[in-house]
Structure 1
């Protein structure tokens, strides 16, 4: 029987994280599994807890949203550790890409009996923040600004915080000049954002890269070029279904290594967390993480 260590997001630990974990914990223990719950003091502490548990041969569960999933999964990238997700955040986009059950019983079945599946991770590096591994996507532009607003919102939660953050970001946005290098080939654009996607979803369930697969060894690089702001809002709605790919303002590149630069300091984010400013390089690490899914 598997032994689990659940690493709980410090932000979610007192509310949604515990709420998601309690019914699952009961089912795991009733099945005879051992579960140890660890509350992290910070994301760096969460990485430390994850590596420690993984080195002991335990299945490491990330309890939280995409930031926590990327943090814990990134810490285990390149190791033999087994990784599981307990979605308890606002977006849960990587869990959505994996097709994980949303009910405790279905998720318990996956964690108890599911076979580990090798999936890709993204190695992210920048001059300001060194290197780290993440799971879902790296994005640079108006969406990173919007996500920063959503993460710092005290009045709104869930989809409402992303929508309000997006309105605020787009209202103040002016087109950026991007230089994107994909596997050594340079591309220049004027526009809103660049997303290097390992997973198809980001930003609270938006299907930004419908062709992205978590195990194909490639990143889908989605570029939204300049256009009227009213059109950008239309594209944001089309992201729910992937219909935006039919717009001439949207282009998709594919490759193993992507470098994103801009003509002014722009924030970039990864897995729901805004980490720094451009330039940034994203490299795929094929099959680097063993996920129960």
Structure 2
């Protein structure tokens, strides 16, 4: 399935930047300043915000007037997710990776090079990607990359509960060790459908569950490399085994790329997924705490609009034709 694209309006010359003051440090501000300088050299009017309410108001106003070229999320994956949840769907989003992982930017081939990013905003196209939407405790929100329920979600919960400043890879060491000692892998029920009230495709029990929109996961782990964010489906990968040793075995199999050959691993594609448990179990969304089970997840097809380079589009088309 090919990615749907559209061109940006030539006369849309307003760019809104949301800067996350907590994302990155040191050189990050210099990179952002370089991007803004490049955009202004191209005669775009650039406004910088740290207040989400202001970004939302300006996005609506400029969209109505046909003047908005893009909203630029300057931060990590969490910044991009927050922006998408606050602006109208269909608004062109651009990414400046200044966070810890920057998984979405890596997938889209976006670097922190100011000239490259400015060229993409000037000459690129808008790709229409799928969104994930989850509902828990009566509240709904969108996600861009993936959600997980199990050991990794417990690590994320502990990390953010003790967070005092910027997060880097070393920040994960203590919550990982704490989770290894105490997490007991409660059973999770996974129910998949292609419509919210449609017939059940599969109903399985697992101890670790991932739902992917894109194939991206932290530190480059290829848990679900076949996930495609423009095929109208979410990819579910589940792991069985309710102990630390099972978890370690599965992690080792992921690292060597052999987990999909194991009997305790299931891969499912569906539009709608429900995850529930008899226990209080947390889940994480795009690397941030998402809440607790039960949770309902569905794909929203072709509603995430991201500005991408023409070279990236050509590269994807070449790979898909091979």
| Short-chain TM bin | 0.7 to 0.9
Per-residue deviation, 1:117: 0.5
CA change 1:197–1:48 in 2 (3 A) is farther
CA RMSD in angstroms comes to 2.7
Aligned partners of 1:7 and 1:50 also within 8 Å: no
Aligned partners of 2:187 and 2:205 also within 8 Å: yes
- 1:123 match: secondary structure: strand
Number of aligned pairs?
Answer: 288
Alignment of 1:264 onto 2:275: no
Counterpart in the other structure of 1:35: 46
**Alignment counterpart, residue 250 of structure 1, candidates 265, 286, 300:** 265
Counterpart in the other structure of 1:146: 155
Per-residue deviation, 1:227: 5.8
**Alignment counterpart, residue 185 of structure 1, candidates 175, 192, 201:** 201
**Alignment counterpart, residue 114 of structure 2, candidates 96, 104, 109:** 104
CA change 1:235–1:98 in 2 (3 A) is farther
- 1:57-86 Cα offsets, whole Å, 9 max, x none, are 42111111111111112334633x111111
- 1:221-269 Cα offsets, whole Å, 9 max, x none, are 1112216524533543554674433343322111111111112011112
- 1:175 match: secondary structure: coil
1:207-286 aligned at under 5 Å gives the runs 207-226=222-241, 229-230=244-245, 232-233=247-248, 235-236=250-251, 239=254, 242-286=257-301
CA change 1:55–1:213 in 2 (3 A) is farther
**Alignment counterpart, residue 181 of structure 2, candidates 166, 171, 192:** 171
Distance in 1 between residues matched to 2:27 and 2:278, nearest whole Å: 40
Counterpart in the other structure of 1:67: 78
Distance in 2 between residues matched to 1:54 and 1:216, nearest whole Å: 27
Counterpart in the other structure of 1:133: 142
Counterpart in the other structure of 2:6: none
Alignment TM-score, normalising by the size of structure 2: 0.79
CA change 1:16–1:261 in 2 (3 A) is farther
